Amino acid sequence: MGTTSGFDAAEITDAYAGFHARVAGFVESGDWSGYADLFTPDATYVEHAMGTFRGRDEIRAWAMRTMTSYPGRVMTGFPLAWQVVDAEAARLVCEVRNPMPDPGDGTVLEEPNITIMTYAGGGLFSREEDVYNPLRFHAMALRWARIAAEHGRADHDVLAWLEKWR
């Protein structure tokens, strides 16, 4: 049976590996301005706690706002636990780990999410949906911020974020 999407699993897998490598570069540099360029101009990004973003301008604004402030700014990377490809639907589904750095006492904190990517060809994706429990993410961020503050490892935006939740 051929793929109805016109893309095979290898192409989708390779495109996501390239996407993921670019994301690692954004984490390293702290510059998320290029994130939206990994998507088609009319792409949709579904973020269950923050809303749905349509088009590169909205996706770029969300990424710049979210990934350059606490807690997104502090995450050390987004390693994959597993992934599967449904070539007929042009989708890649994976579990993304969201680890935080040591807050000062050796505590290991991370929360996973399931990401559903829809491939559009040419190395670009037309849709991303991140499925996770926002309450668990919030609890992790709160715990990390409290421990980091206790150990003198919380900078200004972490302390400001923490103050909002006291």
pLDDT of residue 107: 96
Handedness of CA 135, 141, 144, 146 (dihedral sign): negative
Tell me the residue length of the chain. 166
pLDDT of residue 3: 55
How confident is the model over 103-113, as pLDDT tens digits?
A: 999 999 999 99
pLDDT of residue 1: 46
> What 3-state DSSP class applies to 29?
helix
Find out whether 16 and 86 touch, Cβ atoms under 8 Å.
no
pLDDT of residue 89: 97
CA distance 130 to 115: 5
Amino acid at 31: D
pLDDT of residue 155: 94
pLDDT of residue 40: 98
Residues of the chain with pLDDT under 50: 1
The per-residue b/e assignment along 51-82, b for 16 or more CB within 10 angstroms, e otherwise, is eebebbebbbebbeeebeebbeebbeebeeee
CA distance 63 to 59: 6
Q: Tokens 């503050």 belong to which residue?
A: 149
Beta strands in the chain (DSSP E): 39-47, 51-54, 80-86, 91-99, 110-121, 124-131
pLDDT of residue 148: 97
